[in-house]
Amino acid sequence: TLNATAFGAVIGSLGFSSPLLNHAALIVVLALEAGLLFVAANTGFLGGPAVLANMAADSWVPRHFRELSSRLVTQNGLLLMGSAALAVLIWSEGDVTLLVVLYSINVFLTFSLSLYGLCVYWWRNRQIVKRARRRFLLSLAGLAVTSSILAVLIVEKFDQGWVTILITGTVVGICVLIRKHYDETRAQLRQIDQLFAPAAGHDDVPEPPALDPRKPTAIFLVGKNRGVGMHTLLWVQRLFPDHFKNFIFLSAGEVDTHSFDGQGALRTLQYQIRNSLRYYTNFCGKHGLAAAAYDAYGTDPVAQLDALTETVMADFPNSVCFASKLIFVHDNIFTRWLHNQTALHMQRRLHLRGRQMVILPMKVS
């Protein structure tokens, strides 16, 4: 390789008396280089789940990829990336010239996107962060260099790199479709939320009855959409009239980079979740039902919900968990894969521990 030739010439110019010593030094250098490349190659596999989690938090990939504690994201995600890498290696028949082009295009695309993100960050915080303008200009210069190299690679090596462009473009298109679907679903859920909009004076509720850990307890796993949570609560009351005496609501806030952007987003997230939980407890209080609510925050909502349910179920042993899943009128494998994974993962975890959990369907168009 070029490195072996270059380092061989450099080592030869050092004037070692023994050719064997020159050869040994070259082997050591190449071994260190191989180790460095091995670590660099594994960086993608180590960082892949975290990147998927960040993309899932922004709804660019299926939401269940945000659950870093899930085997789907960690173990199966690594197997998926490894299988894809092996497929590319077999398809290219190990042609180093072609692999270098494929690698270079994606690397400089990644560099360009990362530097573009830095430019956006420094520009948005130019009035807050010291020397933000200087850092913006530095990032902009780097973006100009990497994007220029990317453009040259695409134009000059298109006959070898068109497959990379096709694959990357297809992945981007799929991500856009996923984001569009999630946005449409959220819009429908917001319409359902309006049906349960809090009335004036909804915080003026009588003192609710005290919780009794010995009595039957219904534990509800809820999110930001009050319509979904109220649908579950009303169905439980309809299916089990006067059976449950305690009603406990659990919610986990997803903390990501947007929660630490310096604009009070984390406090806003806490306010939204606690305000939503207060809506449920106020509803129960108005109807003479003993109720309580608990919230937790972390990068893995499933892990936070799991810890909350374990704690609450230990305090209320005679309890059953309830959650909702979305049922689409035009259901297909695409919608089934994009939704309801959190409820299914929680149900599996609880069932493995001998706990009870029921998932109730909620139809949306």
The DSSP string of 230-259 is: HHHHHHHHHHSTTT--EEEEEEEEE--GGG
Give yes or no for a contact between 319 and 217, defined as CB atoms under 8 angstroms apart: yes
Give the pLDDT of residue 157. Answer: 78
Q: Do 164 and 245 lie in a common domain?
A: no
- 209 part of a folded domain: no
- 200 part of a folded domain: no
- 212 part of a folded domain: no
Q: Do 64 and 152 lie in a common domain?
A: no
Which residue is listed with tokens 């219904």?
Answer: 218
Q: Do 109 and 136 lie in a common domain?
A: yes
CA R_g for the chain: 27
Residues in Cβ contact with 78 at an 8 Å cutoff, skipping those fewer than 6 apart = 45, 48, 49
Nearest to 269 by CA among 249, 309, 296, 250: 296
Q: Of the given ranges (6-10, 80-84, 353-357), which has the lowest mean pLDDT?
A: 6-10
Q: Do 187 and 294 lie in a common domain?
A: no
Last residue of a domain, one of 41, 76, 93: 93
Give ∠ CA 345-228-243 in degrees, rounded to 5: 85
Q: Do 232 and 304 lie in a common domain?
A: yes
pLDDT band at 176 (very low <50, low <70, confident <90, very high): very high
- 175 part of a folded domain: yes
Give the pLDDT of residue 74. Answer: 63
Last residue of a domain, one of 132, 160, 195: 195
Domain that holds residue 311: 217-364
pLDDT band at 173 (very low <50, low <70, confident <90, very high): very high
- 203 part of a folded domain: no
Q: Do 274 and 331 lie in a common domain?
A: yes
Give the pLDDT of residue 88. Answer: 82
Spatial strand order in the sheet of 290-298: 290-298, 246-254, 217-221, 319-328, 357-364
Q: Do 88 and 103 lie in a common domain?
A: no
Separation CA 26–CA 293 (nearest Å): 65
Q: Do 228 and 360 lie in a common domain?
A: yes
Residues in Cβ contact with 258 at an 8 Å cutoff, skipping those fewer than 6 apart = 57, 265
- 208 part of a folded domain: no
Roughly what angle, to the nearest 10 degrees, separates helices 265-286 and 226-239? 30
Q: Do 87 and 101 lie in a common domain?
A: no
- 269 part of a folded domain: yes
- 82 part of a folded domain: yes
Number of folded domains that form the chain: 3
Residues in Cβ contact with 60 at an 8 Å cutoff, skipping those fewer than 6 apart = 175, 178, 179
Nearest to 68 by CA among 296, 256, 220: 256
Q: Do 223 and 344 lie in a common domain?
A: yes
SS3 199: coil
Last residue of a domain, one of 45, 61, 93: 93
Kindly report, residue by residue over 52-107, the tens digit of the pLDDT.
777 887 888 887 777 655 555 566 667 777 787 888 888 878 787 778 788 788 88
Q: Do 225 and 351 lie in a common domain?
A: yes
Q: Structure pTM?
A: 0.71
SS3 118: helix
Give yes or no for a contact between 220 and 322, defined as CB atoms under 8 angstroms apart: yes
Q: Do 164 and 191 lie in a common domain?
A: yes
Q: What is the CATH number of the domain that holds 231?
A: 3.40.50.620
Kindly report, residue by residue over 282-299, the tens digit of the pLDDT.
888 888 889 999 998 877
pLDDT band at 235 (very low <50, low <70, confident <90, very high): very high
Residues in Cβ contact with 338 at an 8 Å cutoff, skipping those fewer than 6 apart = 62, 63, 178, 181, 182
